Amino acid sequence: MADFGGDTELEAFRVEAAAWLKANFPASLKGKAAMANAEGTGPTDPDYQAWKKAIGDKGWATPTWPTEYGGGGLSVPQARVLGQEMAKAGAFNPLTFGMGITMIGPTILDYGTEDQKKTHIPPIVKGEVRWCVGYSEPNAGSDLASLQTKCEDKGDHFLINGSKIWTSGAQYSEWCGCLVRTDPSAKKHEGISFILLDMKQKGVETRPIALIAGDSPFCETFFTDAVAPKDALLGQLNQGWTVGKRLLQHERASQTGAAFGGRQVALQDVAKKYVEVDDAGRIADPDLRTRLTRHLMDSRVHNLTLARAAAEAKNSNNPGSAASVLKNSATHVAQTRAELTLEIMGAQGLGWEGADFSPEEIEAVRGWLFGKAMSIYGGSSEIQNNIISKRILGLPDTTQST
């Protein structure tokens, strides 16, 4: 991977990235990232499919991944520049809507054997397969370590029985990264393994969960004598809790765009488009200016913490303690940005559809509504605070009677 850090090299790459985007990103998709995902237009829109193929073939859907597996091979500064140019063009990464490049792929790169990387990473890079994550169970949600899906060693294969719930996209997925219990006699955080499971087999059944809004991204998933070969084990046997935590670390990096820096238009620039500015070009409302500044500071602190977590993990397969705070930090930053965006847009930030609202305005309100779920999925904010207090800070469990 080339390390382009100098201004001259980065500016040359910026010109290259802008030219490639102009030639390959369909203008019809500008500002339609959220709608393509929420409305399901991606699978049938020819422009969407052309864009998905172009960015997948280029490797820029996974810009910093190794070129030997189909990734872009870019340095982190180059990837940041690419993200900035995509934001300017109103472009989006069509593969971030699945869990392949945001969660499973990076975890395979961290823990996978060479055969696992060669088998699974190239199709993820090109968006040719869809992955889901089998974590939560009916009796093991935020307390995930209580999971009971049984995985038995049958000599030349594993046999899996049990169920998962809230499995996002399971009905569409070809593969699942699944946490299973391989040693029922061990302590609950031990005896867990991470299996790469083929979803298109007779022993796997998915049932979409109907939501009040209509279509659902969530499923119940049932395993009845599902089979996985022995080489489907990701990481070491009975060490899946560590692998599972690393996957969540990658998920949290993706939630605020940190895995693909610069994707979002700067909020201060959005503000200057909608609200009054003073003679110095500043936002005229001092209260809004103060709250926006605080948000930008929080966002910067979050990204620095994310960088520290990545540095701690660079030479270790054990996620550091900094990773534990990132879920709540990411939620706070993303939800605050969404609230400020709607406030800044005023009435224009309340449109669901129609010619009176721009694609960016419609995306803002849909993103605001979707972002409410961040406080719940991936482990609720309250559960995360309990984990931080007990497992990181070592505080006593005040819920237990004395």
- For residue 12, give every residue at least 6 positions away whose Cβ sits within 8 Å of its Cβ, in sequence order, or none: none
Select from 335, 167, 180 the least CA-distant residue to 244: 180
Task: Name the nearest CA neighbour of 53 among 23, 95, 98, 17.
Answer: 95
Q: Residue 362's CB: how many other CB atoms inside 10 A? A: 21
Would strands 131-134 and 175-181 be described as parallel, antiparallel, or unpaired? parallel
Nearest of 201, 307, 317 to residue 256 by alpha carbon: 307
Q: Which of 306, 298, 312 is nearest to 327 (CA)?
A: 306
Identify whether the C-beta of residue 323 lies closer than 8 Å to the C-beta of residue 306.
no
Query: Residue 117: exposed, middle, or buried by beta-carbon count in 10 A (0-12, 13-18, 19+)?
Result: middle
- Asked whether the beta carbons of 322 and 249 are under 8 A apart, the reply is no
Q: Angle, to 10 degrees, between the axis of helix 326-345 and the axis of helix 240-255?
A: 20
Phi, psi of 115 (to 5 degrees): -65, -40
d(CA 99, CA 377): 14
Would you name the residues annotated as active-site residues? 251
- What are residue 133's DSSP bridge partners? 177
